[in-house]
Every structure is written in C-alpha cells, then in structure tokens.
Amino acid sequence: MAATALATDAPDAPTTPVRRRRPQLGVYGLLVPAAAVIAVALGYPLVRQFVISFQEYGLRQQFGQPAEWVGLQNYTDLLSDPYVWTVIARSIAFCLVNAAVTMVIGMALAVLMSRVGRAARTALQVSLLLAWGTPVLASMTVWQWLFDTQYGVINWVLVHVFGIDSMAGHSWIVQPASFYVVATVIVVWMSVPFVVFSVYAGLLQVPEETMEAAQLDGASARQRFWSITIPIMRPVLSIVLLLQVIWDLKVFTQIYVLQRAGAPTRDTNLLGTLIYSYSDEFSKAGALATIMLVITLALTGFYIRQMLKEDEL
C-alpha cells in the first residue's frame, strides 16, 4: 500500500516533445539533375515551337534570314481552313476508336493469361514481347505484304476460305475506309502488348481472399469481375487508357508508310502526317503542332477530371 501511495504521489515523468520532421533539402536536391535534363530536352523544343508558330519561318530563315513576326496569322490560316478541321475530327475519331479497341483486346488477353496454364502463358508472353519488340518499319513491311493486292494472304483467305469473291485483287489502301481498317489493325497490334502486360500486372494485385469470399457468397464470375476486379484495377486501367489516347492521337509512322505505299494522302491524313506535310513552312507546322498539343491536353484534362470525380464519390 505504501509503495502504491508513493507511486501515485510521484510526479509525472517529463515527456519529450514530439518534433515534426522537416523535409530534407538533400532529398529534393537529388531531383534537380533529372528535372534539369527534362526541362532542357522537353522545355526548349516546346518553347521554340511556340515562338516559331508566331513567326513567318521557312527555308530562307534556315539560312540566316531573320524571321518576321506575324502574330496569330498562322493560327488564323489553319483554323479557317475546313480541311484542317476535317483532319482534326478524323484524328480524334481514329484515336478514340483505336484506344477503345486496344483496351478491350488487351484486357481480354490479360484475363486469358491469368487463367491459362504456365506453358500457354509463357508462349503468349513471348509472342507479345516479339510483337512489341519488332521495329515499326520492319513490321510495316510484313503488314504490307499481308494486305497486298495480288499476293496478300488476307485477300487469299477472304476469297478461298470465306468465299468472298469480290475481295479478289482488292486494294486495301486505295479506299479511305479500308485504309483506316488496315491502319487500325496495325496500330492495335503494336499497342496491345503494353496493355496486356500492364493489366496482367494489375490482376496479380487483386486479393484472392476477396474473390474467394465473393464466390462463397454466390457471386458469379462475371459479377466478381465487374464488381471487384474492375474497381480495384481502376487506377491501372485509367493510366493505361490515358497513355493510349495520347499515343494514338500522335500516330505517324504507320500512316506515313501506308501513304507512301499508294494511299491517297489528302483523304488519309491525320494530324501527325499533316504536320509533316508542312516541311517547308515551319511556322505553320509549329502552329499545327501547338494545336495538337492543346487537343491532347484537353482530352487528357477531361479524362483526369473524370477520374478525380470518381475518386471523390
């Protein structure tokens, strides 16, 4: 009892004040070299492009003649041209269709990869890596042979296997509609591996205990996928879709190579190839590239705003 009383009457031990950790400048200092490289490598070309878009800058300026400042004249000329608006609408539609098709096929293959055996999964992964690692120009040569008018495998299969005689000798890249079918097949084929591997990595992070509990509660495989898997993977899917929209909007090589193979340029131009066509008018090319950048920021900004709204719910 005495010991208890002494312990009770004893003064409280002094408490050490909690110190808040201050951010260490050394940690942020490590980011300075990388930030400087990015600012030089990306910032300078963007600023230079923006400045040129307000000037009259052509081949003569490349040999030392001073550029004349024209203000918004380049933007006015471009935005008053109906053909430019046609190409902008065509590019946005091509971008959205390709991004949607790529996401659907990529998610389907990722789910398939997570459910097949080890041997089949390894074969699928190797195939996707080979498709992803093939240089663009090399793969474009293969695709041109596949869709060749006289000797292409695609026409032969459609005629001799499916009995579509009208496809004999069909030229896929002459008509704009079939041209974009070929371009979509090629672009999606090159983009699917990235989506598959990203989504498959996200599927591995879905807790098995949650899926087993839902199965015991009577949820079907479809209900588990849409009610559990998709909400958990939403951040991964959002980032992958955002990247696909950006990449598909600025696609260039596939369209340019198909155009060089005999496609009508004016009817198949997208923003990337239209910018390249202004090779002797750098000011208009810079203005159109700036417009393309604004469209990209608008699409990504809208998508990011939608994601933030969903997170707040």
Please give the pLDDT value at position 70: 79
Supply 223's token pair: 């209900």
Show the 3-state SS of the chain. CHHHHHHHHCCCCCCCCCCCCCCCHHHHHCHHHHHHHHHHHHHHHHHHHHHHCCEECEHHHHCCCCCEECCCHHHHHHHCCHHHHHHHHHHHHHHHHHHHHHHHHHHHHHHHHHHCCHHHHHHHHHHHHHHHHCCHHHHHHHHHHHCCCCCCHHHHHHHHCCCCHHHCCCCCCCCHHHHHHHHHHHHHHHHHHHHHHHHHHHHCCCCHHHHHHHHHCCCCHHHHHHHHHHHHHHHHHHHHHHHHHHHHHCCCHHHHHHHHCCCCHHHHCCHHHHHHHCCCEHHHHHHHHHHHHHHHHHHHHHHHHHHHHHHHC
Supply 233's token pair: 């993977």
Neighbours of 131 (CB within 10 A): 15
Please give the pLDDT value at position 19: 53
φ, ψ at 56 (rounded to 5°): -95, 95
Structural domains of the chain, with CATH: 82-312 (1.10.3720.10)
pLDDT tens over the chain, length 313 residues: 444 444 444 555 455 555 555 556 677 778 888 888 888 888 888 888 888 888 887 767 777 677 778 788 889 988 898 999 999 999 999 999 999 999 999 999 999 998 888 898 899 999 998 888 888 888 888 888 888 888 888 888 888 888 888 788 888 888 888 899 999 999 999 999 999 999 998 888 888 888 888 888 888 888 888 888 888 888 888 889 888 988 898 899 899 999 888 888 888 999 989 999 887 788 888 889 898 988 888 878 877 776 777 666 5
Please give the pLDDT value at position 17: 52
Please give the pLDDT value at position 3: 46
Separation CA 68–CA 52 (nearest Å)? 10
Supply 291's token pair: 């417009």
Supply 41's token pair: 């490598």
Its pTM stands at 0.80
Nearest alpha carbon to residue 272 among 296, 303, 299: 296
Please give the pLDDT value at position 216: 84
Give me the residue label for tokens 């026409």: 155
Please give the pLDDT value at position 5: 46
Any bridge partners for residue 159, and if so which? none
